[in-house]
């Protein structure tokens, strides 16, 4: 089964408060988003900024690593709440990859170099999100579980991701992610494998998602074990 496309209009912005110097009463993130026409909307989550475009609303969710703020909800800067995101501490420690992005608009081409999480960090974030039960809405858990398996499929063929996970597998967040994958995808009758089955059947009209998920996770873990 080929990996399907996964379209989205939202961005999760992981914030490193120390690297950005967000101490005391400094305000940098909120004003920067506001200057680019992002705003809080009534009824939205307090960590969410939104900008209306011709293609629909574009969302930016602000995330902090667990423990980065003692407040609840965690505070990025004065007047700006966030969400403590499982796996983000590992992603920040791993450092970003650079994505060369080009957007064409009429006769103009806009080029951006975007820092994004490394593939293995994306897998750790998505797997720990599900393992920790951070989102309880049923539809989101189904999508998050399928995303985690698709990231495992991609990571199993990416040598840098396997090497990084092998080197960091005893850290708290990678360890939880790998334990969840190992324990929850040993049998296609598990609740997690059935989530992948239902997601693929609904979104892509593909059968056999549960068996595919179990095979993907087995092959990913075998490839990871070979790094020892």
Q: How high does pLDDT run on average in the chain?
A: 91
pLDDT per residue over 122-163, tens digit each?
A: 999 999 999 999 888 999 999 999 999 999 999 999 999 999
pLDDT recorded at residue 15: 93
Identify the DSSP state of 39: B
In the predicted model, is pLDDT for residue 200 greater than 70?
yes
pLDDT per residue over 13-61, tens digit each?
A: 999 988 888 876 778 899 999 999 999 886 778 889 999 888 788 899 9
**Domain ranges across the chain:** 6-85, 119-225
In the predicted model, is pLDDT for residue 222 greater than 80?
yes
In the predicted model, is pLDDT for residue 182 greater than 90?
yes
Name the token pair of 57.
């609303």
Instruction: Supply the pTM of this predicted model.
Output: 0.90
Classify residue 21 as exposed, middle or buried by CB count within 10 Å of its CB (0-12, 13-18, 19+).
Answer: exposed
Phi-psi region of 50 (alpha: psi -120 to 50; beta: other; left: phi over 0): beta
């Amino acid at each position: 089964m080929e990996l399907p496309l996964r379209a989205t209009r939202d961005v999760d912005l992981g914030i490193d408060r120390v690297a950005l110097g967000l101490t005391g009463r400094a305000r940098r993130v909120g004003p920067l988003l506001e200057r680019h026409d992002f705003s809080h909307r009534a009824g939205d989550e307090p960590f969410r900024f939104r900008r209306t475009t011709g293609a629909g609303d574009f969302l930016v969710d602000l995330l902090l690593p667990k423990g980065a703020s003692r407040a609840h909800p965690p505070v990025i800067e004065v007047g700006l709440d966030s969400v403590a995101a499982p796996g983000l501490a590992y992603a920040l420690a791993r450092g970003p990859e650079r994505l060369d992005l080009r957007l064409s608009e009429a006769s103009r081409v806009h080029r951006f170099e975007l820092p994004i999480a490394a593939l293995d960090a994306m897998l750790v974030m998505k797997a720990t999100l599900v393992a920790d039960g951070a989102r309880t809405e049923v539809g989101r858990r189904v999508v998050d579980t399928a995303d985690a398996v698709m990231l495992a499929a991609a990571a199993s063929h990416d040598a840098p991701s396997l090497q990084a996970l092998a080197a960091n597998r005893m850290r708290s967040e990678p360890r939880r992610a790998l334990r969840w994958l190992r324990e929850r995808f040993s049998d296609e009758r598990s609740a997690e494998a059935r989530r992948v089955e239902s997601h693929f059947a609904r979104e892509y009209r593909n059968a056999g998602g549960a068996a595919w998920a179990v095979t993907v996770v087995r092959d990913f873990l075998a490839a990871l074990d070979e790094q020892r």
